[in-house]
Amino acid sequence: MSHLSETLHQSRDQVRSQDLGNQSTHTQLMEVMQRLQQTVEDYITQLKTQHLQPDLGLGEQRHSQAAREQEAILVRLMCQVVNLLQPPSPDSSGHVGGGQQAQSSRQPDQLGHHLSDLQATVVSCDLSTRGSDISALYHSSIQGYKTYQGDKYHEDKNPLGFINLGVSENKLCIDLMTERLSRSDMHYIEDALLQYADWRGQPFLREEVARFLAYYCKAPAPLDPENVVVLNGCCSVFSALAMVLCEPGEAFLTPTPFYGGFAFTSHLYSKVELIHVHLDSEVTDTNTCPFQLSVGKLETTLLEARLKGKHVRGLLLINPQNPLGDVYSEDALKEYLEFAKRYNLHVIIDEMYILSVFDESITFHSVLSMETLPDPQRIHVIWGTSKDFGISGFRFGALYTQNKEVASAVSSFGYLHSISGIAQYKLCRLLQDREWIDKVYLPTNRSRLQAAHKYITNNLKALKIPFLNRGSGLYIWINLKKYLDPCTFEQELLLHHRFLENKLLLARGKSYMCTEPGWFRLIFSEKPLCLKSGMHRFFQTLGEQKQDCTEKQQEDALREQTVCLLPSSSSQSHAGESLASASGP
Amino acid sequence: MSHLSETLHQSRDQVRSQDLGNQSTHTQLMEVMQRLQQTVEDYITQLKTQHLQPDLGLGEQRHSQAAREQEAILVRLMCQVVNLLQPPSPDSSGHVGGGQQAQSSRQPDQLGHHLSDLQATVVSCDLSTRGSDISALYHSSIQGYKTYQGDKYHEDKNPLGFINLGVSENKLCIDLMTERLSRSDMHYIEDALLQYADWRGQPFLREEVARFLAYYCKAPAPLDPENVVVLNGCCSVFSALAMVLCEPGEAFLTPTPFYGGFAFTSHLYSKVELIHVHLDSEVTDTNTCPFQLSVGKLETTLLEARLKGKHVRGLLLINPQNPLGDVYSEDALKEYLEFAKRYNLHVIIDEMYILSVFDESITFHSVLSMETLPDPQRIHVIWGTSKDFGISGFRFGALYTQNKEVASAVSSFGYLHSISGIAQYKLCRLLQDREWIDKVYLPTNRSRLQAAHKYITNNLKALKIPFLNRGSGLYIWINLKKYLDPCTFEQELLLHHRFLENKLLLARGKSYMCTEPGWFRLIFSEKPLCLKSGMHRFFQTLGEQKQDCTEKQQEDALREQTVCLLPSSSSQSHAGESLASASGP
């Protein structure tokens, strides 16, 4: 019996911890294949003889048990072959919101490590493969955030703590919100709030969400509370949608850069692949603004994906877009929806920032505002209060869909994603209080967002840092590629680390599946003092970085001079050019 | 290209609706195997030539693309082989809390139907297969509960509404709880409660949970808050544990009857199989009490499962047991843990009812109380406030595990299962208030549980309905088989429907994977007036049922007389005997 087939009879733990590095992939592959062929041949022989001798009583039982054992061996052998044959993933150190693609379930998980990884990976004794993968991905992505959680900046109590301009939270109106949530109407308790409830969410909250969305999204007709499902956050809604719309390994199209939380979410449970429609920053005749989305790009990516045998079930859009801040025009939105209809795609549209369009010259168009929708049964809207009301700690996300089957299937997931009754009550009261929202909260929030945005953009302009000047969201998409030398994702990561060393969290473009290194998302919806300190650290970091770049360029130039034994300034002037050209678009 | 490999290029819907029944499994297997061998051989040739010609530039690129395509084909072929080899599942029509077994992921979902199923399945246009399955299972299971949610009994406002003695909730101390939760200390709000937090749960709550469990479980040493993960409910904790401990299709052993929520949970996301250790009610020399669990039964089931090629990763226990109410003795518990250690099994132990042991003569032993644990790294405790504090609407569940790796991996799932910050704060305050818990809540709760239990059991005794007289939990496991004629699960379901017609919800034994028809779980932790009305409806339903049984028996007897043309009462006396014998154990 070969070395590898012996391992089949060892426990998984033994296999996992074993060093397979001494054998070449090819030798191992050949051994497994020989055993595979032998097992399959034996099995087929067995099937044949079983067919010829149908009624053997006890003998037959043993026979079928033996067959089952061989099936088990066969399955495991195949898992190994698949593992051995699979090329290493191009981005095995993905991040939450990093470029990871959900693993297809077609690829068996049981020994789901690539061989090359097997040599390097210290594998857990206790965790499943999927558990190890998820845990590794999560913890590698969340390190900066964890450090921040343990040492948060506070203007009085901890002015040297971490400042978080990386996670999209609106902290500008937390004073108003605290006051509103402290009023006596919020403290109401009744039996039903303390007990199990409708897994779709409490009826009173679903009714209020329907009214609220109809009003603020300017729906042409009342929205139906039966079309609302309330879960504990928008990623939970997305997780449930991905489960009920896709088989594992099926896919959604999504334009990049885009919100990385969906990528991490699909990795946790649903194993749905997100196929990226890569947008780029360069402005050309057809690309009239940076990162412009077009039906042509959607179509090309879809057809390429289909050619590769991918089963694309839907299109995932974010409007207002995160991290770009783009607000789709009504015409553009219609085109995307019509494209989806043409190809029988569902559209999941995340409208988390509908009340965070702070530039009054911009009109936001919700899909819920449209008189007619191209394919209303396949359009599913996600909204929540985390961003627009700055209360991400409430864990509230809502689905609105006219598709009863989808709403109904998603509600099954309420079993694992429901919200505290008391939080549902408070949310309902909050959404109900239009007087306060319209006269107090929204105007204040808008003017504070405007002021904070202006403060940051003025600073960015002063430093000649290119950015997308949009009027929505809580973030600015900025281009720091002139601080990267060379302009690679490795350097982007190093700059990200340098920000962290200066106790500043920013989110880097790679986490949004951006294909061009050097982009960062900077949150501006932070209290003024904190924002000011944050910008101080930001400029300090960039100063250090620039100093390093210059020193490096000088060293390179010196080295070149030494090597060539000729005086020349070509290297330096090239570097100068690249810095200059980086200040557009 | 063979028939089956052609189907690879068809859409899923085409594959779904296609009749593959004309080909024998054996022919298909042979075709796929031939193609598999060819592909693997081609692939190996390619690997060899690639190895020999390492630097071919563009040629190499094409080469590696071709290799990747072949790998993709190979993976799909293998998936097909695995599908063809897998025997059809014995129980494909599972219920929430019914006997469904999770599908193995080794069996790819894309062609995830067995051939025989393919012919029969009617598929939704919009939902994925898994979405349809989950939705169907959920809605078939929840119908009675949905009707109850829409028309709840209230002693003043809706005395004719549905009474729910089916869902395990403690409503006896909701007055105390409402008063406690309304006190001013509960209304505190700070920024951190409204923002994203540690996904493991707020540090202050994890600290309090550790202190609370150490105190009430009588831990020999302080418990570490770093070992606590807080999620939105115990089923969420179980879902995360199942993900990180098992590959899809791997299994946990669990003694039945047991809480059906875990079965439904594993069906939603983790696709972990629950292998039932069937306990029975008959008392014998070895089975000294009804539904007795023993290491022998665990071991037999484990070995049988292994023979069938199942990969059993753990043992799932509930203590105090739900629905039986059994409290494991310290010795028994140790034996189960030692059994688990012997077979390298994780133990997930659900201790949801630790403070609901209302019979003061019973001592509850938490695994957290043990001086030494057989395999501490593989013991994972679940606890929450839903039952012990009657606040299931809070959606709070906690994991305690010494295994840092497991705690860490489970915390990744906080991303989709976290609780509102304000609810976390209130929970912390509640658990902190030992004075109130020990002097007000627990004594009152205990005496009310005792009174309600006594009221119900006296009623049951009067009607000579056998039941398990236990001193823990919120439920009584009762035997209504004397009201079933014949004693089948169909009749059990019909009786369940009859209760519903009388606006009474009970939970039937089948939902707990009980193998003997006729058992029901009756919740007694309901307010006195409601309980009284509930029992009235209970007796009324049983009266109707008995009347029907009698009439049916008389008709049968009459028919027999007519057929035989002979006067005889044998049928009647037989039915009488079966009613009498049903009053034990």
Residues whose CB is less than 8 angstroms from the CB of residue B203 and which lie 6 or more positions away in sequence, other chains included? B225
- Least confident interval from A120-124, A370-374, A402-406, A567-571: A120-124
Size of interface A-B (CB pairs under 8 A): 351
What mean pLDDT is reported for chain A?
Answer: 83
Q: What is the largest CA-CA distance in chain B?
A: 99
Q: Which two tokens stand for residue B454?
A: 């006594």
> Which whole number is the average pLDDT over B59-88?
52
Task: Give the nearest partner residue to A195 out of B146, B393, B403, using CB atoms.
Answer: B393
pLDDT higher than threshold 60 for residue B311? yes
pLDDT at A55: 45
Examine residue A414 and state whether it is found in any structural domain, yes or no.
yes
pLDDT in tens, B287-300: 889 999 999 999 99
Answer yes or no: are the C-beta atoms of A275 and A310 closer than 8 Å. Answer: yes
All residues at 6 or more sequence positions from B115 whose CB lies less than 8 Å from its CB, including other chains: B20, B21, B25, B84
Question: For residue range A56-69, what is the model confidence (pLDDT) as tens digits?
Answer: 444 454 445 555 55
What pLDDT, on a 0 to 100 scale, did the predictor assign at position A206?
98
Q: Please tell me the distance from the alpha carbon of residue B504 to that of residue B499, in angstroms, as a whole number.
A: 5
Question: At B462, is the pLDDT very low, low, confident or very high (cuts 50, 70, 90)?
Answer: very high
A148, A502 contact by CB (below 8 A): no
Q: Please determine, for residue B563, whether its predicted confidence score (pLDDT) is greater than 60.
A: yes
Q: What CATH number does the domain containing A210 carry?
A: 3.40.640.10
CATH at residue B525: 3.90.1150.10
Is residue A507 less than 8 Å (CB to CB) from chain B?
no
pLDDT digits (tens, 9 = 90+) for A68-92: 555 555 555 565 555 555 443 333 3
Q: So what's the pLDDT on residue B330?
A: 96
Domain that holds residue B501: 157-173+448-547
**C-beta pairs of B222-226 under 8 Å, 24+ apart in sequence:** B223/B368, B223/B400, B224/B402, B226/B404, B226/B407
CB contact (8 A) between residue B71 and residue A81 = no
The answer to whether residue A582 is domain-embedded is: no
Q: In this predicted structure, what is the pLDDT of residue B39?
A: 62
Do B420 and B480 sit in the same domain of this protein? no
Tell whether the model's pLDDT for residue A569 goes beyond 50: no
Q: Are B270 and B243 in contact (CB under 8 A)?
A: yes
Of the candidates A301, A357, A361, A285, the residue with the CA atom closest to the CA atom of residue A326 = A357
- Bigger pLDDT: A160 or B75? A160
Judge whether B472 lies within some domain: yes
Sign of CA dihedral A29, A34, A35, A36: positive
Identify whether residues B365 and B253 lie together within a single domain. Answer: yes
Q: Which amino acid is at A106?
A: R
- Residue B464 to residue B458: CA distance in whole angstroms: 10
Average pLDDT, chain B: 83
The Cα-based distances of B40 to A32, A194, B17, B71, B449 in angstroms read 11, 59, 30, 9, 67
Closest by CA to A328, choosing from A280, A366, A299, A361, is: A366
- Helices B129-150 and A404-411: crossing angle in degrees, nearest 10, is 80
Nearest CB neighbour to B174, from listed A112, A194, A423: A194
Question: CA–CA distance from B462 to each of A260, B252, B466, B535 (Å)?
Answer: 63, 40, 10, 12
Q: Which residues of A touch B76 (CB under 8 A)?
A: 106
The angle formed by the CA atoms of residues A346, A351 and A352, to the nearest 5 degrees, is 135
- The token pair at B339 is 């059994």
Give the span between the Cα atoms of B22 and A585, in whole angstroms: 62
* Same-domain status, B204 and B323: yes
SS3 B389: coil
Q: Does B395 touch chain A (CB under 8 A)?
A: yes
Residues facing A230 on adjacent strands: A398
Q: Which of A378, A367, A100, A424 is nearest to A241 (CA)?
A: A378
| Residue B44 to residue A33, Cβ atoms within 8 A | yes
Comparing CA positions, the residue from A556, A457, A469, A467 lying closest to residue A519 is A467
pLDDT of residue B140: 86
Which chain B residues are closer than 8 Å to A108 by Cβ?
82, 105-106
Task: Judge whether A193 lies within some domain.
Answer: no
Touching A: B residues 159-198, CB under 8 Å: 167, 169, 171, 174, 177-178, 181-182, 186-187, 189-198
- Structural domain contains residue B192: no
Same domain, B10 and B68: yes
A379 strand-pairing partners = A347
Q: What is the dihedral of CA A574, A575, A581, A582, to 10 degrees?
A: 160
Instruction: Give the pairing of strands A346-350 and A312-318.
Output: parallel
| Cα-based angle A549, A512, A468 (whole degrees, multiple of 5) | 70
Query: How many folded domains does chain B comprise?
Result: 3
- Whether residue A177 and residue B194 make contact (CB cut-off 8 A), yes or no, is yes
Q: Determine the pLDDT at residue B567.
A: 52
At how many degrees (to 10) do helices A442-462 and A528-564 cross?
Answer: 20
- Percent pLDDT > 90 in chain A is 70
Instruction: Say whether pLDDT at A278 is over 80.
Output: yes
Examine residue A277 and state whether it is found in any structural domain, yes or no: yes
Q: Which of B400, B432, B464 is the last residue of a domain?
A: B432
> Is residue A364 domain-shared with residue A480, that is, in the same domain?
no
Residue B53 CA from chain centroid, whole number: 56
Paired tokens of B100: 């469904």
Q: Are residues B428 and B455 in the same domain?
A: no
Task: Point out the residue among A96, A146, A232 whose CB comes nearest to the CB of B418.
Answer: A232
Query: Are residues B129 and B241 located together in one domain of the fold?
Result: no
The pair of structure tokens assigned to B251 is: 């299994």
Q: Where are the beta strands (DSSP E) in B416-515?
A: 475-479, 504-505, 507-508
Q: Are A280 and A313 in a shared domain?
A: yes
Separation between Cα atoms, residue A153 and residue B195, nearest integer Å: 14
Residues A126 and A162 in one domain: no
Closest-CA residue in chain A for B379? A126
Chain position carrying tokens 């010196």: A558
Q: pTM of whole model > 0.80?
A: no
| CB-based contact, B40 to chain A, within 8 Å | yes
A564–chain B Cβ distance below 8 A for any pair: no
CA distances to A411, B123, B169, B354, B448 from B471, rounded to whole Å, are 36, 47, 16, 12, 13
| Per-residue confidence (pLDDT) for residue B259, from 0 to 100 | 95
Nearest neighbour of A247 by CB, restricted to B109, B139, B423 = B109
Q: Is B43 in CB contact (< 8 Å) with chain A?
A: yes
For B191, which of A174, A243, A421 is closest by C-beta distance?
A: A174
User: Contact B400/B223 with Cβ under 8 angstroms?
Assistant: yes
| Token pair listed for A553 | 């360029």
With an 8 Å Cβ cutoff, is A45 touching chain B? no
Residue B86 contacts by C-beta under 8 Å, 6 or more apart in sequence? A71, B104, B107, B114
Residues B407-448 pLDDT 10s? 999 999 999 999 999 999 999 999 999 999 999 999 999 999
User: In which band, very low, low, confident or very high, does the pLDDT at A335 lie, cut at 50, 70 and 90?
Assistant: very high
Cβ–Cβ < 8 Å for B495, B483: yes
Q: Is residue B442 part of a domain?
A: no
Structure confidence at residue B74 as a pLDDT band (50, 70, 90): low
Same domain, yes or no: B229 and B320 = yes
Task: Name the region of B479 (left: φ>0; alpha: ψ -120 to 50; beta: rest).
Answer: beta
Last residue of a domain, one of B408, B432, B456: B432
Cβ <8 Å between A377 and B403 = no
Determine whether B353 is exposed, middle or buried from the number of CB atoms within 10 Å of its CB (0-12, 13-18, 19+). Answer: buried
The winner for highest mean pLDDT among A19-28, B83-92, B428-437 is: B428-437
- Is the same domain home to A165 and A41? no
Q: Which two tokens stand for residue A232?
A: 């504990």
Residue where the block lists tokens 């593959």: B20
Mean pLDDT (whole number) for A366-382: 97
Of A130, A167, A308, the CB nearest to B243: A130
Strand B397-401: give its sheet, edge to edge. B228-231, B397-401, B379-384, B346-350, B312-318, B251-256, B273-278
- Residue A149 inside a domain? The answer is no
For B391-403, write each residue's pLDDT tens digit.
999 999 999 999 9
Per-residue confidence at A583, pLDDT binned at 50, 70, 90?
very low
DSSP E strands, B334-487: 346-350, 379-384, 397-401, 475-479
Q: What are phi and psi of B475, to 5 degrees?
A: -140, 160
- HSE of A417, CA atoms in CB hemisphere, 13 A: 30
Do B135 and B229 fall into the same domain? no
- B28 to chain A, any CB pair closer than 8 A? The answer is no
| Chain A environment of B129 (Cβ under 8 Å) | 247
pLDDT at A472 over 50: yes
